[in-house]
Chains A and B, each alone.
Chain A
Amino acid sequence: MRSAWPSVAGNSAIGILALQGNVPAHARMLARLGRPARPVHRPADLEDIAGLILPGGESTTLSQLLQGNDLDQAIIDFARHRPLLGTCAGLILMSSDTGDARVAPLGLLETQITRNHYGRQRESFIATLEGGSFAGLRAAFIRAPALRARAPLEVLATHRGLPVAVRQGRHVGCAFHPELGQDTRVHEYWLDLA
């Protein structure tokens, strides 16, 4: 996890929130797309990055560590000018209503979340996405949340009629894990928005 953070000048690097969660998988995805990645541990790390990824992990843990490191308000400020991508726990944090007092929302996506919508790990699954921009993508749903989509959210992908990837402005949130597997389309789409 400590290895391979190339030092980068300029503003092309993408930050990955590195408090807890599957940081290496997003770093691998960015490396595959030729984009330098940098870990974000504290507010100062948000300077000089072109966008920020909130990875999958435990949303209760991440929420506390965001607050403990003064990163919650710093990320809200950052998001006024730069794009965010949130996957699974990252999506929950980006929402306007996490549906759970244990997880404080950053309010970057106008959506209401149901944590662990499908159940426990026994109910985790991989499915092929149906409609939208990522049709055919093999998506891993791991103790995944559900979200309610309404304007101004644009639905980018659905599974069994439920929205599972959404966009609001330049922010994208996924209930599944596009960082797992080989399909780079979600990251490419988001990087193009940036």
Chain B
Amino acid sequence: MSWNLASRLEADDFQLKRGLAEMLRGGVIMDVTDAGQARIAEAAGAVAVMALERIPADIRRDGGVARMSDPALIQSIQQAVSIPVMAKCRIGHFAEAQILQALAVDFIDESEVLTPADEEHHIHKWDFSIPFVCGATDLGEALRRIGEGAALIRTKGEAGSGNIVEAVRHLRRIHTQMRELTQLDPGQLMSRAKTLGAPYELVCYVAEQGELPVPNFSAGGVATPADAALVRQLGAEAVFVGSGIFRSEDPAERAAAIVRAATHFDDPAVLAEVSHGLKGAMPGLELGELPDAQRLAKRGW
């Protein structure tokens, strides 16, 4: 095991992990709960699907412990589509991640949507050959996950809420904190690493490059084409849509519309066209009424 983070980020295995994340840029990754939904997502232009037993809105409604999906479900989705298939494991549950790797999923989401298995430790992701995506609410959290080997960062947002406000908060915060780093002189970076709680080498990387060393996507609360365009304009390179598609009244049309919105995010004429005449979006939650204990974004650190 090397202590040199820079050399690890340049090693072949990490290049392959980050490479797949980069190929997803500009796209939409959709939550699906069966092979039929996966085929609808692929036909609508999804760049990948997230295979899970229940969409976040239902996990939120049902309560109880949410775990990795049944391998039979994941395999049926792998057989149904030709695009990458992702699956979620619980935060810190490396045994679930080992199972997902054995199933040859293309990406593992160490996700706050499931019930955390370890409140102190996230998975040591360098141990795996499959790339990981992890959620973050600020720059320090993003860099800690990359330090553990994540090849892709997404905002946490507030999954299953249909409310974009938290994803916007997280995106703005991460980008503001990155811009601030680029203004500091080198002598200030160790101090900033301390306040961010982030690996010093990665703080130096962001200060020099002005961006994360891996792609940065958005997740949590996307329900409309306009939501996708908003997070793209705020700097998200691609969009995860969880409950927003298959909880709506018109999944196939809405999925295709969100795909086009993610591509033409800065062209309001196209956004108006694709938003036209869609049926009801998922109902959504007013987050001011949601107690802290039910906020998924607070899981993990």
Contact = CB atoms under 8 A, between A and B. Distances in A.
Contacts, number: 112
A61 B106 contact: no
A120 B46 contact: no
A170 B177 CA distance: 45
Decide if the interface of chain A is mainly helix, strand, loop or mixed: loop
Contact of A2 (B16, B129, B266, B267): B266
B16 A115 contact: no
Contacts of B82: 60, 100, 102, 115-116
Given A23-B25, A58-B83, A102 B42 contact: yes
B16 A61 contact: no
A1 B46 CA distance: 19
A165 to B, nearest CB: 17
A56 B106 CA distance: 16
Contact of A58 (B15, B23, B264): B23
A89 B43 CA distance: 17
Contacts of A64: 45, 259
A20 B263 contact: yes
Interface residues of A, number: 38
B25 A89 contact: no
B259 A61 contact: yes
A194 interface: no
A120 B83 CA distance: 9
Interface residues on B, range: 35 or more
B92 to A, nearest CB: 22
Given A122-B130, A143-B84, A22 B23 contact: yes
B131 interface: yes
A33 interface: no
A88 interface: yes
Interface in A138-154: 140, 142-143
A89 B104 CA distance: 21
A21 interface: yes
Nearest to B44: A64
A58 B267 CA distance: 22
Given A1-B237, A61-B259, A88 B23 contact: yes
Given A20-B26, A60-B45, A143 B260 contact: no
A6 interface: no
Interface string A14-46: 000011111111000000000000000100000
A41 B129 CA distance: 35
A180 interface: yes
Interface in B9-61: 12, 15-16, 19-20, 22-27, 42-43, 45-48
Nearest to B28: A61
B27 A143 contact: no
Closest 7 CB pairs of A and B: A121-B106, A20-B26, A58-B47, A22-B22, A64-B45, A126-B12, A122-B104
Given A120-B78, A122-B129, A143-B20, 18 more contacts: A20-B262, A21-B26, A22-B19, A22-B23, A23-B26, A61-B45, A64-B45, A65-B45, A65-B259, A100-B82, A102-B43, A120-B85, A121-B16, A121-B106, A126-B12, A177-B19, A180-B15, A180-B22
Interface of B: 12, 15-16, 19-20, 22-27, 42-43, 45-48, 78, 82-85, 101, 104-107, 129-131, 237, 259-260, 262-264, 266-267
8 contacts: A19-B263, A57-B25, A64-B45, A64-B259, A88-B23, A126-B12, A140-B19, A143-B84
Interface of A: 1-2, 18-25, 41, 56-58, 60-61, 64-65, 68, 88-89, 100, 102, 115-116, 119-122, 124-126, 140, 142-143, 177, 180-181
